[in-house]
Chain A
Amino acid sequence: MNRQQVTATINGELKEFLCEPRQSLLEVLRDELFLTGTKEGCNDGNCGACNVILDGIVVNACCIFGVETNGGHITTIEGLSKGNELHPLQQTFLEGTGMQCGFCTPGFLIAASALLDENPEPTEKEIRHWLVGNLCRCTGYDKIVKSVQDAALILRERAL
């Protein structure tokens, strides 16, 4: 066993953990840190269920080794809300039934939050392009798109 020590800021908290190089960031989050909100759907970069924000950009945690994140900043679904205050995306997904089984939802919320951070007024086409790497099998995507549009509106109104 050649576990390495890794220090990263996760959801605003400095965390130290040990992991083998072969453990992906996804495995580290779920199995070492018990942050199980980030999901495994395919383990090869094709479904987006494992999305996290790493150093400001949305990535597939399954395609990154845990050791690569030393010194990095990570936001997982657990860090999207501020205490009990939901992010507008979480609110609109709830109200707009942007989910059915809810398994792909953390990935979509993280990816959509990255979109709205960069592009506060995305068109429908831009939303669909951005989220092409996130698979949902339950909803047919319609209400996901609408939830993202509704959240974008809330965020823009807040910014005024």
Chain B
Amino acid sequence: MNDYVIPEKLRVVGTTPIRPDGHDKVTGRAKFGDDFHLPGMLHGKVLRSPHAHARIKSIDTSHAAAFPGVHAVVTAADFPKIASNVIDAGESGQIDMQDVADNCIAREKVFYDGHAVAAVAADNAHIAEEAANLIQVAYELLDPVMDVRSAMADNAPVLHDNFLPGAFLAPTEKALPNASKLELAMGDVSTGFDQADVIIEREFTTETVHQGYIETHIVTAQWGANGMVTIWTTTQGQFAIRDQLALVLELPMSAITVIPLEIGGGFGGKDSIYIDPLAVVLSKQSGRPVKMVMNRAETLRATGPSSGTYIKARLGVKTDGTLVAAEFHGAYEAGAYSGGPVAPGVSTALTRYNIPNVKIEGYDVLVNKPKVKPYRAPGATPSNFAVETMIDELCRELKLDPVEFRLRNALTTGDRLVLGFPCPEIGGVEILKAVQNHAHYQSDIGGPHRGRGLAYGFWFGAGLPSSADLMVNSDGTVQLCSGSPDMSGTRITLAMQAAEALGIEPSDIFPSVGDTASVGYSFQTVASRTTFATGIAVYQAAQDILAQMAERAALIWQIATDNVLIDCGRFLNKANIQQCFTFKELAGKLDGTGGPIAARALASPEGVGFQITAHLVDLAVDTETGKVDILRYTAFQDAGKAVHPDFVEGQIQGGTVQGIGWALNEEYFYDEAGHLKNTSLLDYRMPTILDVPNIEAVILETPNPGHPYGVRGVGEVPIVPPAAAIANALYDAAGIRMNTLPMTPAKILDKLNSLTH
């Protein structure tokens, strides 16, 4: 593992230049998934199962095929039947491509309300929709199972006779007809609990939530006459789309080119294929390009929400506040196919505290809901909610200050994690101290029915493969092309890192995102990894560029390359510093000294920095209605090194507000037959601009030595502690302990009423 020596003074990293793609975004010129058109393009629509669990007995597409304006109709029969094949899908963990194929279009059974059964391509979307509704499907209804405990009970309806147990960070083993299990342990919990002065045990349930990206899923596919496929789509990972399509359609990877358009939000939910294979085969059959759009209802019903959970946890502590033992049992929805975020969910439950005796048990549970997908720190929010509210309870019982308690138990650099390795550089203690010193923590809360809550959160980071290409133009400007789709400003943060490394200005660098035919393999833009891992690839490519340019200077000066000094964008002859070229000047001489210079780096870095954060919230509760108003919010987070501080703040504020929605109002409502009732943003209630105050982001920097500028990922951990912080503030305000998410007004009212009765 490289330990970089991070420069004391940075010239570009830490500033706030304007992103080059921003102009197109504020003028409406930027091309997102649905903004792409091809002449002769058809529109595709999917027919989806209205049942949560059923066997498909027959499908009659004849009326749809005969409908005027229809050019092609497909069912599972038009797709190859592929064998089981497990691949590593990054933050989705390991996935069986046979499951992915079955999810794209159901073959024998439908597993959730909204599961795709057939698709139509027609002259326009209205015709396609009308025609799709003419497809007749005969189902044999089966009983659905809609929550983890029911799915794990005796005699629960069984989804799959066989399934491969999921694995993501840690493998699981099949344990029940609908569930697989993992166990992690450290020390000996029974001895640990024996040493405890106070033990509490609590149960929690949390509901299914969705990433809620404002742009839905859209794909345009063209099956070329020569069998080459081109895809234009909104995605977090063009290579993942390409590879998954190749496997599902049994095509060579080189036959498919995926061109990523701008992406209107993803948060983990756009890392895999859904309608992509349908669009491809419809294009093949019709001989025309086909665009398919999943509308909002389809996106909620049939993409990848995040797990609902059932959690039971036990904490043992001494009177001085030392945590001595912890037991954590969590059952996480996997949805219709195995492989949800149970492992990261359970292993982040306690990871920020140094507890010697830990026993963790996690279940990945099949239920008749869409297969879950990563949602910003997958699995961590529910587990954090459980543990941080229990810690709040312990603090009150032991009459200990909540920050002091956490300082006493804080995980620090080098402490052993339950996953078995030591914690890399981490600034948890610094964050907790920053909380104590902040005006918010010290201020008077004021007013009746107001409360303040604190929660402390942790998430991993990731390295994973990234590539970057740098090309020097003869006028000294530089093209930077990476394979990482830009969800929120990584083009500029990568350009800034290149500028820092090369000694030039960010405005001289033109960053772009390459398609699968033009740039080296990159893993998805997920797991808070892009500024870190793709940044390292950029840095390495930049070193290569500098080395090549130094050679050219040496050639010109007729000296050995070792005698060229590179100093912040200038090349000097060590023996005669009058001989000096700026980057621009030297770039102008490349043609005459051997031709243009380019460099490519493929990095799969280790040295990942983990994410740690503390959130402090003040709220008021209307005790007659259960309504919560968030009054003040401060989020403290360690960014390692904030490349673009405004963007880091933006990540913190955005993730926090998603966490607030998760805490207070977001949930999937299913009826008893397993139909999703809230398929609109009217009733899937995400926070509006009126629902939240300003979110103050306090950025600390404990540099990560695994990155040349100290960067650690920042994007995910902000969503982790808001639910617990709000729950703790509710206790402070009204004396009620919430153990379910979301904490809706109805549930708060219930708790308030049970207090008075």
Contacts of A60 in B (CB 8 A): none
Contacts of A47 in B (CB 8 A): 214, 681
* Nearest Cβ on chain A to B644's Cβ, whole angstroms: 8
Q: Are A129 and B656 in contact (CB under 8 A)?
A: no
Interface flag for B25 (CB, 8 Å) = yes
Interface flag for A136 (CB, 8 Å) = yes
Contacts of A20 in B (CB 8 A): 126
Among the stretches B260-268, B355-363, B748-756, the one at the interface with A is B260-268
* Nearest Cβ on chain B to A40's Cβ, whole angstroms: 7
Q: Are B654 and A139 in contact (CB under 8 A)?
A: yes
Q: How far is the CA of A80 from the CA of B681 in the complex (A)?
A: 27
Q: Are A94 and B18 in contact (CB under 8 A)?
A: yes
Q: Are A37 and B680 in contact (CB under 8 A)?
A: no
* Nearest Cβ on chain B to A22's Cβ, whole angstroms: 6
Q: Are A77 and B214 in contact (CB under 8 A)?
A: no
Q: Are A132 and B654 in contact (CB under 8 A)?
A: no
12 contacts between A and B (CB under 8 A): A22-B126, A30-B34, A30-B35, A37-B29, A93-B22, A99-B26, A135-B214, A135-B681, A138-B650, A139-B657, A142-B694, A143-B649
Q: Are B653 and A140 in contact (CB under 8 A)?
A: yes
* Nearest Cβ on chain A to B711's Cβ, whole angstroms: 18
Contacts of B212 in A (CB 8 A): 137
Q: Mark B1-28, 1 if CB is under 8 A from A, else 0.
A: 0000000000000001011011101111
Q: How far is the CA of A140 from the CA of B295 in the complex (A)?
A: 23
* Nearest Cβ on chain A to B662's Cβ, whole angstroms: 12
Q: How far is the CA of A30 from the CA of B264 in the complex (A)?
A: 17
Known contacts A22-B126, A80-B27, A97-B489: does B35 contact A46 (CB below 8 Å)?
Answer: no
* Nearest Cβ on chain A to B219's Cβ, whole angstroms: 15
* Nearest Cβ on chain B to A111's Cβ, whole angstroms: 10
Which interface residue of B216, B263, B652, B681 has the most chain A CB atoms within 10 A? B681
Known contacts A30-B34, A38-B28, A40-B34: does B214 contact A136 (CB below 8 Å)?
Answer: yes
Partner of B215, one of A34, A41, A76, A99: A41
Interface flag for A63 (CB, 8 Å) = no
Q: Are A141 and B689 in contact (CB under 8 A)?
A: yes
Interface flag for A118 (CB, 8 Å) = no
Residues of chain A touching chain B, judged by Cβ–Cβ distance below 8 Å, are 20, 22-23, 30-31, 34-44, 46-47, 49, 76-78, 80-81, 86, 90, 93-97, 99-106, 109, 127-129, 131-145
Contacts of A22 in B (CB 8 A): 126
Q: Are A140 and B692 in contact (CB under 8 A)?
A: yes
Partner of B682, one of A46, A103, A138, A139: A46
* Nearest Cβ on chain B to A137's Cβ, whole angstroms: 5
Interface flag for B488 (CB, 8 Å) = yes
Interface residues of B in 377-409 (CB under 8 A from A): none
Q: Are A139 and B32 in contact (CB under 8 A)?
A: no
Partner of A138, one of B37, B295, B654: B654
Residues of chain B touching chain A, judged by Cβ–Cβ distance below 8 Å, are 16, 18-19, 21-23, 25-32, 34-35, 37, 124, 126, 211-216, 262-265, 267, 293, 295-296, 487-489, 646-647, 649-658, 680-682, 686, 688-690, 692, 694-695
> Known pairs A44-B682, A101-B215. 17 more at Cβ < 8 A?
A22-B126, A37-B28, A43-B296, A44-B296, A44-B680, A46-B680, A86-B23, A97-B16, A100-B488, A102-B25, A132-B690, A135-B688, A138-B654, A141-B653, A142-B694, A143-B649, A143-B653
The 3 lowest CB-CB distance pairs between A and B, nearest first, are A37-B28, A103-B264, A102-B25
Known contacts A105-B26, A140-B695: does B689 contact A128 (CB below 8 Å)?
Answer: yes
Contacts of A136 in B (CB 8 A): 214, 689
Q: Are A103 and B32 in contact (CB under 8 A)?
A: yes
Q: Are B690 and A128 in contact (CB under 8 A)?
A: yes
Q: Are A39 and B215 in contact (CB under 8 A)?
A: yes
Q: How far is the CA of A104 from the CA of B23 in the complex (A)?
A: 14
Q: Are B22 and A102 in contact (CB under 8 A)?
A: yes
Least CB separation from B660: chain A residue: A140
Q: Are B214 and A100 in contact (CB under 8 A)?
A: no
Contacts of A137 in B (CB 8 A): 211-214, 265, 267, 654, 658, 686
* Nearest Cβ on chain B to A113's Cβ, whole angstroms: 12
Q: Are A140 and B296 in contact (CB under 8 A)?
A: no
Contacts of A144 in B (CB 8 A): 689
Q: How far is the CA of A34 from the CA of B478 in the complex (A)?
A: 33
Least CB separation from A100: chain B residue: B488
Least CB separation from A41: chain B residue: B214
Q: How far is the CA of A128 from the CA of B32 in the complex (A)?
A: 27
Q: Are B650 and A103 in contact (CB under 8 A)?
A: no
Q: How far is the CA of A144 from the CA of B653 in the complex (A)?
A: 11
Q: Are B695 and A78 in contact (CB under 8 A)?
A: no
Q: How far is the CA of A24 from the CA of B55 in the complex (A)?
A: 37
Q: Are A99 and B22 in contact (CB under 8 A)?
A: yes
Q: How far is the CA of A93 from the CA of B262 in the complex (A)?
A: 18
Contacts of A93 in B (CB 8 A): 22, 26
Q: Are A36 and B650 in contact (CB under 8 A)?
A: no
* Nearest Cβ on chain A to B637's Cβ, whole angstroms: 13
Which interface residue of A39, A96, A102, A135 has the most chain B CB atoms within 10 A? A102
Q: How far is the CA of A93 from the CA of B25 in the complex (A)?
A: 10
Q: How far is the CA of A27 from the CA of B487 in the complex (A)?
A: 25
Which interface residue of B213, B653, B688, B692 has the most chain A CB atoms within 10 A? B688
Partner of A97, one of B650, B657, B692: B650
Q: Are A41 and B25 in contact (CB under 8 A)?
A: no
Partner of B26, one of A39, A94, A139: A94
Partner of A129, one of B27, B647, B690: B690
Q: How far is the CA of A100 from the CA of B646 in the complex (A)?
A: 11
Known contacts A78-B27, A139-B653: does B18 contact A102 (CB below 8 Å)?
Answer: no
